Amino acid sequence: MPSRRLFLATLAASASGASLGWAAAGAPRFLAAARLEDGTFDLVGLRGTGEAVFRVPLPARGHAGAGHPVRPEAVVFGRRPGTFALVVDCALGAVMHELAPPEGSVFNGHGSYLDGGRLLITAEQRTADSEGRLGIWDAAHGYARLGEVPTHGLGPHEARVMPDGVTIAVANGGVSTEDGREMLNIATMEPNLAYLTLTGGLEEIVELPELRQNSIRHLAFAAGGVTAFAMQWVGAEDEAPPLLGLHRRGEAPVLCAAPGAEQLGLHNYTGTVSTSGDGREVGITSTPGGVLHRFALDGSFLGAVARGRLMGLAPLPGGFLTTDEQGGLMAVEGGVARPLAKHPEFWDNHLITL
């Protein structure tokens, strides 16, 4: 049993963390899940310089997550399909809560805080028919589950609260799966970008009937009300369709592609999407292609940056921060890459911006 002194010290540290916010965890700007060479896993807090300011051990592989807007805590999701999400106190280095989806459902790797951090939403799907659900959790009171609403699509992967703080954008992958991963309905896929209210009301839906086999996976928000969505093509391998879409509410999406061989270099796969820190660019990464593609907000291609096994992508002032599978961090500014740091971790797919 813990001693009274340890109990009081823990309470004091927790209170300090609550009052100092993320400063109590070393003032990171980003979070990233990773695997170590010995097969263990951790969550790492990173500064924009590439410096690691904390490491919290994880009991299993983390994929993506979300940082609380006020408290130094984060929710980390397992790889899709997942049956757990961990709420981590990043100041104390401890797992606070383990969340589980309802029976017959799985997490799909992503979630988002809203209402000042009082609520958490999680992207989920039913295992029986892949119908999408947004799980709603009371982050202010021990992460009790409050309910769920439909995402108006199949296989949602990422769900994010938009800059207005109210609307929820959902990347519905459009795929029916077996055991959460094996795709069943490739010929009749129905991916969409859905805009929802927290009560599940559908405000707008964007579909790509000419590109049904382009699964919409990840989201970012740019200036001028632009939603950027990254896709993964699961159709014929000899095709190289656009893998980035830019959408303004009430308008048709702009589909973005690089010229010729540059587009082929993505290998029909994007791992993540982000805006640049100055808001002028949108970037997508391809892990198998080992490349970052940069686009202007009008959809024009700005250039490519090569780096083996690129993983995460996040905004830095004037450009992007990237991670790679070999533990590297790199800044990209104006299309010029600059190494920042190398860590012992093998980074997972995403960088979480705080």
Q: Taking residues 264-281, what's their average pLDDT? A: 96
Task: Tell me what the pLDDT averaged over the chain comes to.
Answer: 91
Which amino acid would we find at residue 309?
R
DSSP 103: T
Question: pLDDT band for position 110 (50/70/90)?
Answer: very high
Question: pLDDT band for position 176 (50/70/90)?
Answer: confident
| Upper half-sphere CA count for residue 247 (Cβ side, 13 Å) | 26
CA distances, 189 to each of 193, 217, 233 (Å): 13, 13, 11
With residue 13 as reference, give the H or E element that holds it: helix 4-20
pLDDT value of residue 83: 85
For residue 190, the Cα-to-chain-centroid distance in whole angstroms is 21
Question: pLDDT band for position 14 (50/70/90)?
Answer: very low
Q: What is the pLDDT of residues 118-127, one digit of tens each?
A: 999 999 999 9
pLDDT value of residue 106: 94
Q: Report the predicted TM-score, pTM, of the whole model to 2 decimal places.
A: 0.92
Question: What distance in Å separates the CA atoms of residue 19 and residue 27, rounded to the nearest whole number?
Answer: 13
**Lowest pLDDT segment from 63-77, 145-159, 182-196:** 182-196
Question: What distance in Å separates the CA atoms of residue 319 and residue 279, rounded to the nearest whole number?
Answer: 9
Report whether pLDDT(59) > 90. no
pLDDT value of residue 70: 96
pLDDT value of residue 20: 80
Q: Which of 244, 271, 243 is nearest to 80 (CA)?
A: 271
Question: pLDDT band for position 10 (50/70/90)?
Answer: very low
Fold assignment, 208-353:
Methylamine Dehydrogenase; Chain H (2.130.10)
Is 256 within 8 Å of 296 (Cβ atoms)? no
What is the strand order of the sheet 346-353 is part of?
52-58, 41-46, 30-35, 346-353
Residue that wins the pLDDT comparison between 79 and 132: 132
Question: 3-state class of 93 per DSSP?
Answer: coil
Question: 3-state class of 194 per DSSP?
Answer: strand
For 18, other C-beta atoms within 10 Å of its C-beta total 14
**Lowest pLDDT segment from 81-90, 94-103, 254-263, 310-319:** 81-90
Is 31 within 8 Å of 45 (Cβ atoms)? yes
Q: What is the pLDDT of residues 202-261, one digit of tens each?
A: 999 999 999 999 999 999 999 999 999 999 999 998 899 999 999 999 999 999 999 999
> What one-character-per-residue DSSP string does 227-253 give?
EEEEEEE-S-TT-----EEEEETTSPP
Question: What distance in Å separates the CA atoms of residue 308 and residue 319, rounded to the nearest whole number?
Answer: 19
Enumerate the domain spans of the chain.
208-353
Question: What distance in Å separates the CA atoms of residue 174 and residue 188, rounded to the nearest whole number?
Answer: 9
The single residue listed with the structure tokens 């450009």 is 319
CA distances, 155 to each of 141, 152, 158, 340, 350 (Å): 29, 10, 10, 36, 19
Question: pLDDT band for position 82 (50/70/90)?
Answer: confident
Question: pLDDT band for position 269 (50/70/90)?
Answer: very high
Q: Which of 38, 96, 86 is nearest to 58 (CA)?
A: 86
Question: What distance in Å separates the CA atoms of residue 344 and residue 354, rounded to the nearest whole number?
Answer: 22
